[in-house]
Amino acid sequence: MSTDTLLSDCRVPVLGICAYSGTGKTTLLLKLLPELNRRGLKVAVVKHAHHNFEVDKPGKDSFELRKAGADQMLIGSSNRRALMMERPVEGDPDLKELLAMIDQSRIDLILVEGFKKLALPKLELHRAEVGKPFVFTHDPLIQAIACDEATQLPADCRLPQLSIDDVDGIADFIQGFIGQWTPVAPAPLGPCCDSVERKQLSVNQGVARILTKVTPINDTETLPLTGALGRVLATDAISPINVPQHTNSAMDGYAIAHGEHTSFKVVGEVFAGHAYPGVVGAGEAVKIMTGAPLPAGVDTVVMRELATETDGVVRFDGPIEAGQNVRQAGEDIATGATALTAGARISAAEMGLLASLGLAQPTVWRRPRVAIFSTGDEVCAPEAPLKPNCIFDANRFSLHGMLTQLGCEVIDLGIIEDNEDSMVAALENASAQADVVISSGGVSVGDADFIKDALARLGTIDFWKIAMRPGRPLAFGTIGDALFFGLPGNPVAVMVSFMQFVQPALRKLAGEAQWQPRLIKAVATEPMRSRSGRTEFSRGVASLGAAGQLEVRTTGSQGSGILSSMVQANCLIVLEEAVDHVRPGDAVWIQPFSDLM
Ligand code: AMP
Ligand code: MG
């Protein structure tokens, strides 16, 4: 099967990891996957296995149901699902069929382990000690080779060469591979009206390309805790203490040593913040308050409501379990444990946790500096009177709001006149001060020239046509060390493209590890239409239905200029490329606004 046929249905890049057994494919993948995750990439892995492999366990219901004759066994929980099916085929499993089983809308890359002979782009791994020949010498689809120091590559090897132990270098190569990738058969986008040189990309492809160009900020600062809200931790928060510090009581009651006794002599009492000085003997009890440290000699607390105390002797109703109602020292967080990892964004709960450990001066990454401006002769600042035939500038303000919510420092450059020299001056000024420059308007075909010419003088720019609605045109490039985003002009399109493309870039830039847009399933309460081949982001209102399920409706008219729809909405409804219509009762993905608005 040719590469084009094999990968024709793939919406994300597919890379094989190929090597003879014993080279360490899985070992490498185990180190590579965390690194790719850290870089914001979601990865699916396809692995070739022995014909009789088993992931289930005898005795598990799923195993027994399969053995009893379930031809397909789909088992699902709220956070995991597994489909097991018996499909005997001659020879190797059909990779094209396996790839089709992956939910490609949720990932950025598929790594394939162990289909060495198939026609797909591959990274070859080689170790001299394994004593096997090279694959690349007879497989033109090998994209690069990662080998150990002892490997002697032929002098005429023209492939990019990596060290098999350099996980970072291999991750860089993979990010580059994603950035270069184009689908075999681009999604049908309907009649093409824009200039042919524009590249057509899916939302995932656009995001992946952007992320390859983002290097996280490397400057840190140390702040008082109250000033750290919304900032990203630069170092792991290691607990200097046990939480709780002492083993203590979870109840108001009596502390005793669990054993044979049925009545106990009350020998004293202990309050929170104090310690009982003595050792409690068998058959003795100490009255104890919630949070008070457990005295020496006891291990169990019985709640006051079950106790009867007369003449200094206490008896209890009901059974007593050893160790009950006791919180062990370090049970929440032990000394030396990682309470928060670097890359965590500090919200209210993180502030409380850091404070509870006495970590009052967290070290955080510097905030991204983002310059914004609007373009268009018709665009007026809202502080000034509205000129005839003009509109007020909405975009700079919605951008300002979202950037502030993301913890960025905003540099507002106002409205830039529609002429090349003003544009060049504005971009030069912006890129000198900022990590990221964002403009809105002026990137659709009619008027692209300006930003294009200005950027050609100062940096690089790509114009993309993203298979999405709203927000199809997107310009992305670099000016010096700054990244440039040219967002569309329509106010809703600006917000939607910001959420999909600028947000992941800014979060990575800010040092936030592992961020992915939050997607939740909700039941549609009305019919919705989309066009297959593009992702539709409708403004939605999600609410709890009568039966307790999450439901979603649209805000009605979905024109990309109707900004009030963003105000009414509390989420975006994401109708993925494969979806062309939704019926009431169908499940759809939604992206809640909570983080940004
Ligand atoms: P453009 O991409 O420049 O053709 O703009 C598309 C539409 O968005 C036009 O109707 C513009 O008037 C409108 N628009 C552009 N910039 C802004 C802005 N800053 N605020 C509100 N609307 C805008
Ligand atoms: Mg314009």
Looking at this protein, which amino acid is placed at residue 451?
A: I
Could you tell me the CATH number of the domain that includes residue 8? 3.40.50.300
Instruction: Phi first, then psi: give them for residue 445, nearest 5 degrees.
Output: -60, -45
- Condensed to tens digits (0 to 9), the pLDDT of residues 450-485 reads 777 888 889 998 888 999 999 888 999 999 999 999
Quick one: what percent of the chain has pLDDT higher than 90?
Answer: 68
Q: Closest-lying ligand to the alpha carbon of 379? A: 1
Cβ < 6 A, ligand 1 pocket: 374, 376, 378-379, 391, 393-396, 440-442, 444, 447, 488-491
Report yes or no: 479 and 431 within 8 Å, Cβ to Cβ: yes
What is the arithmetic mean of pLDDT over 334-357? Answer: 96
Q: Do 433 and 527 belong together in one domain? A: no
Give nearest CA residue, ligand 1 atom 10: 490
- Condensed to tens digits (0 to 9), the pLDDT of residues 216-272 reads 999 999 999 999 999 999 999 999 999 999 999 999 999 999 999 999 999 999 999
What was the pLDDT predicted at 199?
A: 63
Report yes or no: 354 and 360 within 8 Å, Cβ to Cβ: yes
Q: Closest-lying ligand to the alpha carbon of 445? A: 1
Report yes or no: 371 and 411 within 8 Å, Cβ to Cβ: yes
Q: Do 411 and 540 belong together in one domain? A: no
- Whether 389 has a pLDDT exceeding 70, the answer reads yes
Give nearest CA residue, ligand 1 atom 16: 489
Which atom of ligand 1 has the smallest separation from the CA of 415? 19
Which atom of ligand 1 has the smallest separation from the CA of 446? 4
- Whether 151 has a pLDDT exceeding 90, the answer reads yes
- Condensed to tens digits (0 to 9), the pLDDT of residues 307-319 reads 999 999 999 999 9
Task: Tell which residue, 421, 364, 410, 415, has the closest CA to residue 391.
Answer: 415
Token pair 């080279």 in the structure block, residue: 23
Task: Tell which residue, 200, 279, 187, 158, has the closest CA to residue 464.
Answer: 200
Q: Do 342 and 397 belong together in one domain? A: no
Q: Do 117 and 26 belong together in one domain? A: yes
What was the pLDDT predicted at 275?
A: 96
Does residue 132 lie within any of the structural domains? Answer: yes
d(CA 8, CA 362): 49
Q: Closest-lying ligand to the alpha carbon of 562? A: 1
d(CA 353, CA 347): 10
What was the pLDDT predicted at 152?
A: 92
Half-sphere exposure of 229 (CA within 13 A, CB side): 7
The residue segments making up the domain with residue 339 are: 232-242+332-362
Instruction: Phi first, then psi: give them for residue 34, nearest 5 degrees.
Output: -60, -40
Q: Do 394 and 476 belong together in one domain? A: yes
30: its two tokens: 């185990």
Which residues are found with C-beta within 5 Å of the ion, ligand 2? 376, 441-442, 489
Quick one: what percent of the chain has pLDDT higher than 70?
Answer: 96
Q: Do 375 and 282 belong together in one domain? A: no
Half-sphere exposure of 363 (CA within 13 A, CB side): 10
- Residue of 377, 379, 397, 445 to mutate, ligand 1, most atoms within 8 A of C-beta: 379
Looking at the 3D structure of the chain, how many domains does it have?
Answer: 5
Helix 167-180 vs helix 203-212: crossing angle, to nearest 10 = 140
- The DSSP symbol for 405 reads H
